[in-house]
Amino acid sequence: MPVTTLKKYDLEERTEAFADAVRYFLKRIPLTFANIEDAKQLLRSSGSVAANYIEANDSLGTKDFMMHIKICRKEAKESGLWLRLIDVGGNTELEKKRSLLAQEAKELMLICASIFRNSDKAATVS
């Protein structure tokens, strides 16, 4: 999709879709003690990516925006960790889904890092 056709809040929708996809994935993993604990962390961090991006868009100023984008980046990175730790019990379908979610977490982390860098540059110029 060309950049000119992107809506302002497409990343809000993407981060929410990520959190939703994580929830769908977690309903299907084996219920081991470790998975339950890791799933709780993944559930929180994936939702925090979306919540902090929404907060960034409704920020009170540049510092508030930068803080929420930085948290968004950190939570996306954390989501990647929890996804790597989840044991899918050898299920190839779950492994594929986990891999796709881990890739999305990485992409969201990189997008937020880019937004942060570009916003920081713009803030220091003005």
Residue 3 lies in a domain: no
Instruction: Supply the range of the domain harboring residue 82.
Output: 8-125
What CATH number does residue 101 fall under?
1.20.1440.60
Residue 105 lies in a domain: yes
Residue 17 lies in a domain: yes
Cβ neighbours, 10 Å, residue 3? 5
Angle at 93 between CA 91 and CA 97, to 5 degrees: 115
Q: In this structure, are residues 103 and 97 in contact, taking their beta carbons and an 8 Å threshold?
A: no
Task: Identify the pLDDT of residue 19.
Answer: 98
Global confidence as pTM = 0.86
Total domain count, the chain: 1
Residue 22 lies in a domain: yes
Q: Is the pLDDT of residue 125 over 90?
A: no
pLDDT tens sequence across 18-76 = 999 999 999 999 999 999 999 999 999 999 999 999 999 998 899 999 999 999 999 99
